[in-house]
């Protein structure tokens, strides 16, 4: 558990330097860490949970009124694929209001929950602020100036929030059937820069390391953070994008809310020059974020073959 209060108030203090070192070490080894004193109020978190529970409690036919599609990925969905396998979950995705340069589509909001929109957009802004502050700590942990990555994000990043619901019953059948959708979400890495995750009290998230799966604990009001593919590319493999999954729920339902900090659509992502040396040459070809993101999200809806991975850009 890392206290990030000092990082956000005085990055040159001893407490901040200790926290930055802890963040860097976590990014190099596990790719996951948890933070407290992150600046998102408990009252805001509690209201976000109330609205999330209300959304997924709606009848299925009402949720499908705002169902997303391959053309418009914003809204409700209960048939998502990961690694071309269906996940045992329901999701609701939304992006920054009136800003979608990749798909050029609008958010979809349920008319039966009038408070959901404002609650979630406010939470998204809080997560965006937090993630951009963490981005500075990530840079400092690499020995770079704090704002080294910010030109790819400030003002025009393509981050979005996902509300996850992992039911006990399979959402496609309404009945518990062993062996169907045997994961809440199958193993994967996150495609963007970093993820800011809110978990409820029900465990299920696991990270893969050295051939084993390890549980990520749940802590009230703490935020779980993990690195994504683009961070691994920028750092030239110094930071790792961890493979993780969520187990299927067999006795208690689970909720989680990730915010994915993603670059601007036209960003060209490659190893930062200071991460390249004679002993550590460039590991990746440049990646255009908007194209990579769209190819990755296409695989949510149908089996289009091998899911795009950063390994395909490795030199």
Which pLDDT tens digit goes with each residue over 6-59? 999 999 999 999 999 999 999 999 999 999 999 999 999 999 999 999 999 999
The neighbouring-strand residues paired with 208 are 213
CA dihedral 25, 27, 29, 30 (to 10 degrees): 120
Contacts of 277 (CB under 8 A, 6+ apart): none
Long-range Cβ contacts of 65-70 (<8 Å, 24+ apart): 65/110, 66/92, 66/108, 66/109, 66/110, 68/93, 68/108, 69/301, 70/298, 70/301, 70/302
pLDDT mean over 254-259: 98
pLDDT mean over 263-270: 96
Superfamily of 2-313 according to CATH: B-lactam Antibiotic, Isopenicillin N Synthase; Chain (2.60.120.330)
Percent of the chain that is helix, strand, coil (3-state, to 5): 30, 25, 45
Q: Residue 301: what pLDDT?
A: 60
- Average pLDDT of every residue of the chain: 92
In Å, what is the CA distance from 290 to each residue of 86, 132, 308?
Answer: 24, 19, 13
Give 257's pLDDT tier (boundaries 50, 70, 90): very high
- Phi, psi angles (nearest 5°) of residue 118: -65, -40
pLDDT mean over 117-144: 97
Closest-CA residue to 293 (of 232, 229, 250, 231):
229
CA 134 to chain centre: 14
Question: Percentage of the chain with pLDDT > 90?
Answer: 79
Alpha-carbon gap, residue 246 to 255, rounded angstroms? 11
DSSP 8-state symbol, 62: H
Q: Residue 248: what pLDDT?
A: 79
Query: What are the pLDDT digits (tens) for 80-124?
Result: 776 666 788 999 999 988 778 898 999 999 999 999 999 999 999
Q: What's this model's pTM, rounded to 2 decimal places?
A: 0.94
Query: What are the pLDDT digits (tens) for 163-217?
Result: 999 998 876 765 445 444 467 788 899 999 999 999 999 999 999 999 999 999 9
Alpha-carbon gap, residue 130 to 56, rounded angstroms? 26
Note the maximum CA span of the chain.
59
Lookup: tokens for 232: 């691994």
pLDDT mean over 291-311: 77
Residue pair 243/285 in contact (Cβ under 8 Å)? The answer is no
Question: Percentage of the chain with pLDDT > 70?
Answer: 92
pLDDT mean over 224-228: 99
The H-or-E segment that residue 205 falls in is: strand 205-209
Q: Residue 176: what pLDDT?
A: 47
DSSP 8-state symbol, 212: E
């Amino acid at each position: 558990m890392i206290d990030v209060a000092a990082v956000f108030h005085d990055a040159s203090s001893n407490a901040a330097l200790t926290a930055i070192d802890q963040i860097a070490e976590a990014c190099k080894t596990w790719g996951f860490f948890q933070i407290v004193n992150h600046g998102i109020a408990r009252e805001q978190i509690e209201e976000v949970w109330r609205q999330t529970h209300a959304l997924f409690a709606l009848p299925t036919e009402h949720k499908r009124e705002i169902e997303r599609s391959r053309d418009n990925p914003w809204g409700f969905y209960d048939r998502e694929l990961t690694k071309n396998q269906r996940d045992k979950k329901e999701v609701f995705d939304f992006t920054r209001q009136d800003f979608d340069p990749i798909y050029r589509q609008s958010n979809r909001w349920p008319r039966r929950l009038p408070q959901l929109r404002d609650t979630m957009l406010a939470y998204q802004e809080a997560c965006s602020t937090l993630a951009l502050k963490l981005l500075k700590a990530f840079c400092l942990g690499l020995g770079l100036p704090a704002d080294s990555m910010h030109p790819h994000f400030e003002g025009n990043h393509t981050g979005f929030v996902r509300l996850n619901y992992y039911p006990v019953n399979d959402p496609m059948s309404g009945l518990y059937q062993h062996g169907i959708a045997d994961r809440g979400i199958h193993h994967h890495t996150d495609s963007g820069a970093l993820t800011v995750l809110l978990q409820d009290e029900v465990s299920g998230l696991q990270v893969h390391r050295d051939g084993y799966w390890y549980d990520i604990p749940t802590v009230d009001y703490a935020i779980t953070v993990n690195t994504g593919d683009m961070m691994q590319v920028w750092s030239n493999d110094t930071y790792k994008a961890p493979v993780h999954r969520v187990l299927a729920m067999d006795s208690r339902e689970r909720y989680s809310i990730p915010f994915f900090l993603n670059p601007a659509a036209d960003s060209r992502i490659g190893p930062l020059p200071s991460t390249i040396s004679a002993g550590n040459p460039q590991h990746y070809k440049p990646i255009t974020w908007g194209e990579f993101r769209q190819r990755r999200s296409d695989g949510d809806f149908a089996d289009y073959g091998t899911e795009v991975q950063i390994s395909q850009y490795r030199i």
